[in-house]
Amino acid sequence: MAGSRKRIPQFNFATHVFDQFKRRKVDKTDEIPQQEANVLESTDSSQDQNSKKQEIHIVENESTNSSQEQNSKSKNEPAPQIDHSEVIKHMNESFSNKKENLHSFYTCKTCTKLSYNETQRLKTKDDRFQHNWITDESLTYCQKTGYNWLIYIEGEGMFCLICRKHDSTNSINKAKKFNAEPGVRFKRKALQDHSNGQQHKSSVLAELIKRSSPFLAELDKRESSKQSVYYNAFLAIYWLAKEEIANCKAPSLLQVLQQLGLDDIKYFQHRSAGSFRSIMLMLGENIKSQVAKKCEEAKYFGLLCDEVCDLANKEQLLTFVNYVDKDTHKVCTDFLSATDLLEKSDSADAHTIWMALSRQLEDCNLKKSSLSSFASDGASP
Ligand SMILES: [Zn+2]
Ligand SMILES: [Zn+2]
């Protein structure tokens, strides 16, 4: 990898590497409800926890009140401030493939009605969705959380921002209405029922607990910034490799980045020597596969190889490839592979070199029949 100086390859490795970490993310999200449950259970000692207890108490008491009482409460207590850009970001992630057809308080700034196609689709139905329900505060505004919770997706139906966010389920019939499945009973009554229902109230409670707990807020922040944190950390480690700086400088580089304002990098926890080594190898493998793919696309390639004795006294066979890049139509020379020649042999003779070269080509899925040139100095027979 250190030898591939000519061009900085595209950071396609991010996709590959992130996929692996995403899998871990999925595992970890399972832990969060448990941690929330722990917070709920351990409400004995600190003041913070007491205030949480009070808040839960308030929510439980209010859960018996009607929506009219909820509105009268709004006159006394200031509503929580909502960061609209955060809500839009969350909705775009949550409804990633449907965001074109989404109507909500936060996205419908100038939009006041459903599209022509959607209106035609609903024409045959007895009940029809009314766009103004989205902005109707008496119907779809939650005073406790400050959210205008109604979302409408064309072609599907109504969703609740809070229930979707907390992935809540109806405890009686185990349905995920307004969360995974859309609500399709287009009546004001259906929205009032949802707003006063157990599922929605448990989502509101979960939201309030999350806001009152710095611990859970931190967890949330860590989860939401994970993608960019990994990208930045991997890019920093890639830069180290590219500049031929020792791996052991990686923790210190990450620390400097944090001090320079990349605060979220503190969430990157994989800082052991073993982790950095794995990351370097992963990056190397990914770049190697990109180079091999380009050679394959070029149809013909040339090889340049030589032996080098490294610091650890290992006899390495270094191989470079020469090919015409299909996209840029330029001749490129890239580092392909390094093999320890004496790993399986006593002498770095012609036969050992031939076997090592064959293995390198096989590893990269490159055909010997496409090898059109070869450059090297002599080797002992
Ligand atoms: Zn709209
Ligand atoms: Zn809800």
What would the pLDDT profile of 132-144 be if each residue is shown by its tens digit? Answer: 999 999 999 999 8
pLDDT tens digit string along 136-172?
Answer: 999 999 998 999 999 999 999 999 999 999 998 888 8
pLDDT band per the 50, 70, 90 thresholds, residue 7: very low
- From the CA of 161, the nearest ligand is 2
Q: For a pLDDT cut of 70, what percent of the chain falls above it?
A: 78
Q: For a pLDDT cut of 90, what percent of the chain falls above it?
A: 41
C-alpha of 364 from chain center? 29
Residues in the chain: 381
Write down the pLDDT at residue 41: 39
Instruction: Using the predicted structure, report yes or no on whether residue 207 has a pLDDT greater than 60.
Output: yes
Write down the pLDDT at residue 243: 93
The candidate with the shortest Cα–Cα distance to 138, out of 67, 194, 201, 63, is 67
The average pLDDT across 202-207 equals 91
d(CA 131, CA 103): 8
66 CA distance to ligand 1 middle (Å): 28
- From the CA of 149, the nearest ligand is 2
196 CA distance to ligand 2 middle (Å): 9
232 CA distance to ligand 2 middle (Å): 36
pLDDT tens digit string along 87-133?
Answer: 898 888 888 877 788 999 999 988 999 999 999 988 888 888 999 99
Write down the pLDDT at residue 287: 92
Across all residues in the chain, what is the average pLDDT?
Answer: 79
Backbone angles phi, psi at 102, to 5 degrees: -95, 135
Instruction: Using the predicted structure, report yes or no on whether residue 12 has a pLDDT greater than 50.
Output: no
> Cα dist. 157→87, 122, 123, 224, 305 in Å?
19, 10, 14, 27, 63
Tokens 């910034």 locate to: 225
Write down the pLDDT at residue 58: 41
Question: pTM for the complete prediction?
Answer: 0.47
DSSP E strands, 266-330: 301-309, 315-324
169 CA distance to ligand 2 middle (Å): 10
110 CA distance to ligand 1 middle (Å): 8
Write down the pLDDT at residue 105: 93
The average pLDDT across 287-294 equals 92
Write down the pLDDT at residue 34: 42
pLDDT band per the 50, 70, 90 thresholds, residue 379: low
11 CA distance to ligand 2 middle (Å): 40
Instruction: Using the predicted structure, report yes or no on whether residue 199 has a pLDDT greater than 70.
Output: yes
144 CA distance to ligand 2 middle (Å): 13
d(CA 150, CA 129): 11
Tokens representing 71 are 């509105």
354 CA distance to ligand 1 middle (Å): 67
Tokens 């405890």 locate to: 171
pLDDT band per the 50, 70, 90 thresholds, residue 42: very low
- From the CA of 170, the nearest ligand is 2
The average pLDDT across 218-235 equals 82
d(CA 318, CA 335): 8
